[in-house]
Amino acid sequence: MVIYVVQPGDSIYDISQLYGISPQKIINDNNLENPNMLVPGQTIVVLTDSVQHTVSRGDSLYSIAKDYGVTLNDLISANPQISNPSKLVVGQVINVPVKGEQLGTIEVNGYALPNIENSVLQATLPNLTYLSIFSYQVRFDGSLSTINDTPLIQAALNAGVAPMMVITNIEEGASFSSELARVILTNEQVQSNLINNIIQTLRAKNYYGLDIDFEYIYPENREDYNRFLRRITSVLRPLGYIVTTAIAPKTNANQQGLLYEAHDYPAHGVIVDHVIIMTYEWGYLYGPPMAVAPINEVRKVLNYAVSVIPSEKILMGMPNYGYDWTLPYTTNSVARSMTNTGAIELAAKVGAEIQYDTKAQAPFFNYYDSQGRKHIVWFDDARSIRARLQLVDTYNLGGVSYWTINNYFPQNWLILNSLYNVKKVSL
């Protein structure tokens, strides 16, 4: 696999000639809706095991091997037609083997909203271990909202993917509620009602396990949350269900803020089966422009996380979206969310050139709208996805979790499958 960065004037035909692959395969693999409108700086994933290099003046097999990151012996073996490796001719074509990066087997979770298009779901399921359907909202009396999850559960089971029930402390018609969490975590009768309702739903819907996404919990309810987790796992595990939690991206145990304080990393690491760390939203809807998941910030979270949670229990969060900010940014600014493919389409429409921030390991571009206002767009491409996915191997993590899979971005899955095998569980 090669990640090719489009240069000005490039065409799919040019790229196909460079790598000896049909233009249609490149178009299909990257799901390019308009292959005639490539954007400078855009990434194209080329699924190939070799590259053709045309010898220039001063080239040697040693320098070519070094430039492409392959061994000299591998380069010589790939070119048996070269009778004298010390003598190359300008214009001669050399086959360069592309080094594979298979890093092992990991677990992959994908959050899906019930309104996901069936075509997107079907295309994505082969890449998943778990499908977490978002979400059953808990109520103050311990009952649960209803969602249309049956089609997603059946699709997951048909594809050999484990469906996960997700509960949240989101008030119906509102947002995450600290007060709702307080009631659930401190009222034993309400909690008992909730657990009974969860068990009934798990059984009736044929779910594989439970994912708990309680956010903005009051700091004083931190130990109440831990007790709830101990209680619910003690009930669900004997019934054959796993339990996962989604937690905020903390860099230290004493990180301040309502989002962070009640999420006890060491406790979650002991109590539950998987811990999904939401390593995204540094760049967010109401915040200043920046990458959604800058790798330097993600590393800070993982450095702390693996020091207190067994690394194999951690699923690192992977965003599947970007944001468009109007500049100059003010505290009243609100960004516009967009898909990764939508960002590329926008760049093509406005004639922007995509740039790449090496510190954040993320692509971005600027443009001016019809009113003359400057914008900046941060999103993900094959390079940023690969950089973060390699952290799974670096930190020996259990895998990753995508928020969300409702929009299909093929480069996510091309890169993921080039690096890892996706684990499937027995259903």
Cα-flanking dihedrals φ and ψ of residue 149, to 5°? -100, -10
Q: What confidence category does residue 391 fall into, taking pLDDT thresholds of 50, 70 and 90?
A: very high
**Model confidence pLDDT, tens digit, residues 323-351:** 999 999 999 999 999 999 999 999 999 99
Considering the chain, what percentage of its residues have pLDDT values greater than 70? Answer: 100
209/307 Cα distance (integer angstroms): 26
Q: Is the pLDDT of residue 99 over 80?
A: no
Domain boundaries, the chain: 1-48, 50-99, 105-422
Q: Which of 12-26, 42-56, 384-398 has the highest mean pLDDT?
A: 384-398
Q: What confidence category does residue 80 fall into, taking pLDDT thresholds of 50, 70 and 90?
A: very high
Close Cβ partners of 166 (under 8 Å, ≥ 6 residues apart): 111, 132, 133, 134, 135, 136, 210, 211, 212, 213
Distances in Å between the Cα of 305 and the Cα atoms of 104, 156, 265, 276 are: 21, 30, 7, 11
Burial 30-59 (b: 16+ CB within 10 A, else e): bebeebeebbbbbbbbbbbeebebebeeeb
Mean pLDDT of the chain: 96
215 is catalytic: yes
Overall average pLDDT of the 399-418 stretch: 97
Q: Is the pLDDT of residue 415 over 80?
A: yes
Packing angle, helices 188-205 and 178-186, rounded to 10: 100
148/136 Cα distance (integer angstroms): 10
Q: 1-48 domain in CATH 3.10.350.10?
A: yes
| Res 69: pLDDT | 75
**391 sits in which H/E element:** helix 382-394
Q: Is the pLDDT of residue 139 over 90?
A: yes
In sequence order, what DSSP letters do the residues of 57-97 get, joined into one string? TT--HHHHHHHHT--HHHHHHT-TT-S-TT---TT-EEEEE
Place of tokens 């996901």: 116
Q: Is the pLDDT of residue 87 over 80?
A: yes
Return the CATH fold of 50-99: Membrane-bound Lytic Murein Transglycosylase D; Chain A (3.10.350)
Q: What confidence category does residue 426 fall into, taking pLDDT thresholds of 50, 70 and 90?
A: very high
Closest CA relative to residue 287, chosen from 322, 231, 331, 229: 331
| Res 340: pLDDT | 98
Q: Is the pLDDT of residue 252 over 90?
A: yes
Instruction: Report the largest interatomic distance among the alpha carbons of the chain, rounded to a whole angstrom.
Output: 82
Under the phi-then-psi rule, with left for phi > 0, alpha for psi from -120 to 50, and beta for the rest, what region is 219?
alpha
SS3 state at 198: helix
The pTM of the full predicted model, rounded to 2 decimals, is 0.92
**Model confidence pLDDT, tens digit, residues 190-237:** 999 999 999 999 999 999 999 999 999 999 999 999 999 999 999 999
**Model confidence pLDDT, tens digit, residues 26-64:** 999 999 999 999 999 999 999 988 888 889 999 999 998
CATH of the domain spanning 105-422? 3.20.20.80
| Res 414: pLDDT | 96
3/194 Cα distance (integer angstroms): 48
Q: Could you tell me if 246 and 213 are in contact, meaning their C-beta atoms sit under 8 angstroms apart?
A: yes
In a 13 Å sphere around the CA of 286, the CA atoms on its Cβ side amount to 2
Question: 94 versus 206: which is more confidently predicted?
Answer: 206
| Res 136: pLDDT | 98
Q: Could you tell me if 337 and 321 are in contact, meaning their C-beta atoms sit under 8 angstroms apart?
A: yes
| Res 102: pLDDT | 85
- Token pair, residue 144, equals 């649960």
Q: What confidence category does residue 105 fall into, taking pLDDT thresholds of 50, 70 and 90?
A: very high
Cα-flanking dihedrals φ and ψ of residue 389, to 5°? -65, -30
User: How many residues comprise the chain?
Assistant: 427
Q: Does the fold of domain 50-99 match that of domain 1-48?
A: yes
Overall average pLDDT of the 82-89 stretch: 90
Q: Which of 66-75, 81-90, 289-298 has the highest mean pLDDT?
A: 289-298
Overall average pLDDT of the 381-405 stretch: 98
Considering the chain, what percentage of its residues have pLDDT values greater than 90? Answer: 90
Q: Is the pLDDT of residue 378 over 80?
A: yes
Q: Which residues pair with 401 in a beta bridge?
A: 109, 317
In a 13 Å sphere around the CA of 46, the CA atoms on its Cβ side amount to 24
Q: What confidence category does residue 20 fall into, taking pLDDT thresholds of 50, 70 and 90?
A: confident
Q: Could you tell me if 402 and 389 are in contact, meaning their C-beta atoms sit under 8 angstroms apart?
A: no
> Which range, of 49-58, 171-180, 223-232, 394-403, averages the lowest pLDDT?
49-58
Q: Which residues pair with 315 in a beta bridge?
A: 276, 399
| Res 184: pLDDT | 98
Q: Could you tell me if 195 and 231 are in contact, meaning their C-beta atoms sit under 8 angstroms apart?
A: yes
Active-site position among 117, 179, 215, 345 = 215
Continuous H helices in 206-326: 222-236, 265-271, 295-308
